[in-house]
Amino acid sequence: MRRWGAWGGVGVIVGLVLPGVTWAAPLQSFAIVQEIASDRNAPPWRQDQFLDTSFYLVWPRQHLVVTLGGFATGAEWGGFCHDRRGSTYAVALRRRQDGYVNDTALGLETEQRYRNLVISGGVRGFWPDVPETDNLLVVPTAGLQVYYGAGSFASVRAVRDSRPHTGTTIRLANRWTHGNSFVEAAVAPRTDGVVNFSFAARRGYLLLGYGRERDFDFSRMDRQVWSFGLRYDFRP
């Protein structure tokens, strides 16, 4: 697979998307998030500290994420449509290059709504610039959300890693919502016996998160990620 030039993929995504969405609809929300990742037990030759900054822009039916940093530098565009029941059908295209990871990803997902239930399913294809076993990695997902109260919900999501000697991750989460603030706690057991967890919260404009992933990416590294940022929602 031919490598794109520096920022070539990012430039193509931004160049194709922004002219169409900027004038078509008002911006709904904007966020900037700083991530600090630390990997224990990393090989001596591998970097074990990463700083990544992501910018999130959301329109009524589209989003754009631009990330600058040591682990992932790139951009993602996503769009969706919905039917009369409020069910959604989404597509997302992402290109990462010039950080630690270099790949292209294309994802398809649907969320089917039935009263207070949302059943989701999707698949994402990854094309790494330097493949481990094949030049295409297919990752299927399935999930269920049960809403209660005003925007609060419990969820379960299964992600199957199709690479050899990996497995399936089951993420169990609960989000308590009050207005535009929330607190979310999640635990994520894997079929190889590892159990990981994460925490996220929003209060007004402020965002905060923490995640712990033992045997990160089914390796021997233990990853911790702190995140903090700001989010602003534009009112019509």
Query: In the structure, what pLDDT confidence band is assigned to residue 120 with cuts at 50, 70 and 90?
Result: very high
**Quick one: fold of 8-233?**
Porin (2.40.160)
pLDDT of residue 13: 47
Average pLDDT across the chain, whole number: 88
Q: What does the pLDDT average to over 118-129?
A: 94
pLDDT in tens, 147-196: 998 889 999 999 999 888 889 999 999 999 999 899 999 999 999 999 99
Q: Is the pLDDT of residue 61 over 70?
A: yes
Annotated domain spans of the chain: 8-233
HEC letters along the chain: CCCCCCCHHHHHHHHHHHHHHHCCCCCCEEEEEEEEEEEECCCCCCCCEEEEEEEEEECCCEEEEEEEECCCCEEEEEEEEECCCCCEEEEEEEEECCCCCCEEEEEEEEEEEECCEEEEEEEEEEEECCCCCCCCEEEEEEEEEEEECCCEEEEEEEEECCCCCCCEEEEEEEEEEECCEEEEEEEEEECCCCEEEEEEEEECCEEEEEEEECCHHHCCCEEEEEEEEEEEECCC
pLDDT in tens, 220-230: 899 999 999 99
pLDDT of residue 159: 97
pLDDT of residue 132: 63
